[in-house]
Amino acid sequence: MEFFLQLLVQGLSVGFLYALASLGFVMIFKSSSVLNFAHGDLLAIGAFIFLVFSVWLNLPIWLAFLLTLVGSFALGFIIERLFLRPLIGEALIQVIMLTVGLAAMFKGLMLFIFGGNIFNYPDFLPKNLSIQWGAIQIAPVYMASFIIGIIFLSIFGFFFKYSSQGIYMRSVADNQPAALSLGVHVRRVFALSWAIAALVCAISGIILGIMSGINVHNLSHMGLKVFPVVILGGLESIGGAIIGGLIIGILETFTGGYISTSLKEVVPYIVLVFILLVKPYGLFGLVEIERV
Amino acid sequence: MRKLKFHPCGNYKEKYKEELTIFTTDFGRLWLWIGFLLLFVAIPFISSNYTLYVINHIGIAAIAAIGLNLLIGFTGQISLGHGAFFGVGAYAAAILATTLGFPFWLSVICAGIITALVGTVFGLPSIRLKHLYLTIATLAGQFIIQYLLLNWESLTKGADGIFLPRATLFGTDIKGDRAFFYVVFVCFVILTWIAVNLIRTRYGRAFIAIRDNDRAAEGMGIPIFRYKLLSFAISSFYAGFAGGLAAYYIGSITPEPYTLLLSVEFIAMIIIGGLGNIPGSVFGAIFIMLLNELLSHATTFFMNLGTLTGVALQIAPLREFIYGLAIVLFIIFEPRGLAEVWRIIRSSFRLWPFSY
């Protein structure tokens, strides 16, 4: 029983990581219906920008965090401007291939600059955040990430629901020609959605970095783990991403605990194929009925 | 002998059959024979062993790239699992040759057929899914196959890999790069011929219809699901066949090379060469393989300079960066790839001095 509880808590925390990692992905998909294969690399870039500011330049943590947010926001703008803007109106296959290319590019560049080593952030989280609950202990990292996650989720929830830019973004996602004809600046919306997505990625990347160290390979692999999560939850749904993340995380740790550790890595993908066959639009996704 | 036909100075086609011809003039056919002569008579004898080794790898990669182009470029179904299918072919050939003692030609062909079956399994989600979701399904296929290659130890011998027997054909040993050159390129010519002609049959036209507009294709009475599966099967057959050849050529296989990076490499080949263009896939394969060789030469060059060994280790990851950059630049500036560049060069020669 204790083993079961231990696995459950571990699974929930891993799942929380996945949920966090998939937020930026859902954000981009919601506003521009682009499958972003460079997602993991955006996570890694965010984590490394924070590393540069906090460790190499030795800035205070809050300043480093702020600069990272600004930097990744700008990076999202630049990516959209340089690479995605020329492709507005092109076939979807081109855009997806472009993100595959971007992923390879970013990964190579980061390996070139930082190498394949594991880096760590300085220990800056207060110790009294940890919670002891019977035999189960929740580390301060998880508490901090939980708090940050809740704050940003509610900010973005309100942003999408009430701010005019958020409403523009939703309208573009819903029907691009209609939004254009009603005077929505679609190009600005795309730029903004990539910038926001890069920012969300940076936050998730930093939290992932605090939890498991910063390594190019791990973080960019995380970008691929996102796919089972968002497919399970439904591509358009942020709530679905969170629940999907938790389910995948639990499934993974239970497979690792009870069956075999090597199976752990592929179980999400096996689940993915199964979901695609049975319920392709996920738990909370938008069902598009098209009998073709 | 009939008179040689030249390019007319306008579009004078009167029958559909003329639209469908591969060679619009006899010059094309003439160039093809010159190309064959160069390929099979000149190249094997003027190139060194190392050059032949590179050329053989280009030929194998080109076969796989043509298969992927049939799927992505002609049917419009994106697959991220082609690298894994290549691996399935390599393993199928190796296992058939070592445990069942199949001869070379049979095990390579069977490798293609087995891979076609595996590819069909991963194409099954296409019954309900369209491009986005299908891409993700093939990504899952990539990881599942990679896992099986490494962990199904009773069949694949895990990380130890398998050593293949020497390839023999018609009782003669195929040893050395030159003998293999002929095997690879005869297969290459046959498979390219099949692919080029497949596109002109009703099957190929159905693929193109599905790519251009699947709803309209369904409306015209094309059973989409069956044709998508067929496209998956054919594309995987090419990958598996190439994988089998590669396994015999290298002589031993391990699960390491068949990763997502290999899939991305194949995709890079067909994007750089030109989507929906058979010669384009060959150009792409040449481009990527030469790039690979160039980069590994640069690495060893810096390695040997002594003081710059650090630089050499540093630039190794730049290979991935350059793939990515090549994909991105081609998509943005020349989405139709090297094949289009080649067409522009040719037509500017043809129209000189009145090119526009």
What CATH number is associated with residue A116?
A: 1.10.3470
Interface test with A, best of B128, B211, B267, B315 (most A CBs within 10 A): B128
For chains A and B, count residue pairs whose Cβ atoms are closer than 8 Å: 139
Cβ(B321)–Cβ(A101) under 8 Å?
no
Q: What is the pTM of this model?
A: 0.86
Share of chain B above pLDDT 70, in %: 92
Q: How far apart are CA B356 and CA A144, in angstroms?
A: 64
Q: Is A291 domain-assigned?
A: no
Contact B224 A265 (CB under 8 A): no
pLDDT of residue A136: 64
Surface of A (50-79) touching B: CB under 8 A? none
- The partner residues of A25 in beta bridges, in order of sequence, read none
Q: How far is B129 from chain A (nearest CA, A)?
A: 7
- The alpha helices in chain B, defined as continuous H runs, are 16-20, 26-37, 43-46, 49-69, 82-99, 104-123, 131-151, 153-156, 176-198, 202-212, 214-219, 224-250, 260-273, 278-304, 309-315, 318-333, 337-351
Inform me whether the pLDDT recorded for A193 exceeds 80.
yes
Nearest to A104 among B141, B215, B327 (CB): B327
**Residue A266 phi/psi, 5° resolution?**
-100, -15
Contact A92 B317 (CB under 8 A): no
The amino acid present at B41, given as its one-letter code, is: V
Q: Is A287 domain-assigned?
A: no
Inform me whether the pLDDT recorded for B3 exceeds 80.
no
**Alpha carbon distance, N-terminus to C-terminus of chain A:** 49
Q: Is B39 domain-assigned?
A: no
Query: Looking at beta carbons, which residues of chain A come within 8 Å of B322?
Result: 108
Residues B256-299: pLDDT tens digits?
888 888 888 898 888 888 888 888 999 999 998 998 888 888 77
Q: How far is B45 from chain A (nearest CA, A)?
A: 38
CATH number of the domain enclosing B111: 1.10.3470
Report the residue of chain B nearest A115, measured CA to CA: B314
Flag whether residue A40 sits within 8 Å of chain B, measured between CB atoms. Answer: no
Cβ neighbours of residue B331 under 8 Å, at least 6 residues apart? A87, A94, A97, A98, A101, B271
Q: Is A22 domain-assigned?
A: yes
Least confident of A152-156, A161-165, A256-260, B21-25: B21-25
The amino acid present at B171, given as its one-letter code, is: G
The amino acid present at A189, given as its one-letter code, is: V
Nearest to A104 among B150, B224, B320 (CB): B320
Residues A131-184: pLDDT tens digits?
666 666 667 777 777 787 778 778 877 887 888 888 888 888 777 788 889 988
Q: How far are the Cα atoms of A197, A252, B134, B195 from residue B208, in angstroms, in the given order?
A: 35, 40, 18, 13
The domain tally of chain B equals 1
Write out the residue range of the structural domain in which residue A261 sits. 2-126+141-278
Between B306 and B42, the more confident residue is B42
- Asked if the bond preceding B125 is cis, omega within 30° of 0, the reply is no
| 3-state class (DSSP) for residue A262 | coil
Q: How far are the Cα atoms of A9, A121, A135, B228 from residue A128, in angstroms, in the given order?
A: 20, 19, 17, 58
Q: Closest Cα to residue A215, out of A47, A28, A5, A11?
A: A47
pLDDT of residue A12: 82
Q: Is B21 domain-assigned?
A: no
Q: How far apart are CA A47 and CA A205, in angstroms?
A: 5
Q: Which residue reads 């940076």 in tokens?
A: A202
Residues B138-177: pLDDT tens digits?
888 898 998 888 888 777 777 777 887 777 777 677 777 7
Q: Closest Cα to residue A278, out of B78, B129, B135?
A: B129
Residues A94-141: pLDDT tens digits?
888 888 889 888 988 888 888 777 887 777 766 666 666 666 666 777
Structure tokens at A74: 């700008």
pLDDT of residue B307: 65
Q: How far is A147 from chain B (nearest CA, A)?
A: 32
pLDDT of residue A74: 93
Contact B133 A231 (CB under 8 A): yes
Mean pLDDT of B120-138: 78
| 3-state class (DSSP) for residue B186 | helix
Query: Looking at beta carbons, which residues of chain B come within 8 Å of A26?
Result: none
Q: Is A94 domain-assigned?
A: yes
Q: How far is A243 from chain B (nearest CA, A)?
A: 19
Q: How far is A269 from chain B (nearest CA, A)?
A: 5
Cβ neighbours of residue B313 under 8 Å, at least 6 residues apart? none
Write out the residue range of the structural domain in which residue B343 sits. 49-351
- Kindly report the average pLDDT of chain A as a whole number: 82
Mean pLDDT of A235-254: 84
Flag whether residue A98 sits within 8 Å of chain B, measured between CB atoms. Answer: yes
Cβ(A240)–Cβ(A284) under 8 Å?
yes
pLDDT band at B90 (very low <50, low <70, confident <90, very high): very high
The domain tally of chain A equals 1
**Alpha carbon distance, N-terminus to C-terminus of chain B:** 36
Dihedral-angle region of residue B150 (phi above 0 means left; psi in -120 to 50 means alpha; beta otherwise): alpha
Q: Is A284 domain-assigned?
A: no
**Residue B172 phi/psi, 5° resolution?**
-110, 145
Nearest to A107 among B72, B224, B320 (CB): B320
| 3-state class (DSSP) for residue A36 | coil
Inform me whether the pLDDT recorded for A288 exceeds 70.
no
Cβ(B235)–Cβ(B67) under 8 Å?
yes
**Residue A217: CB atoms within 10 Å:** 14
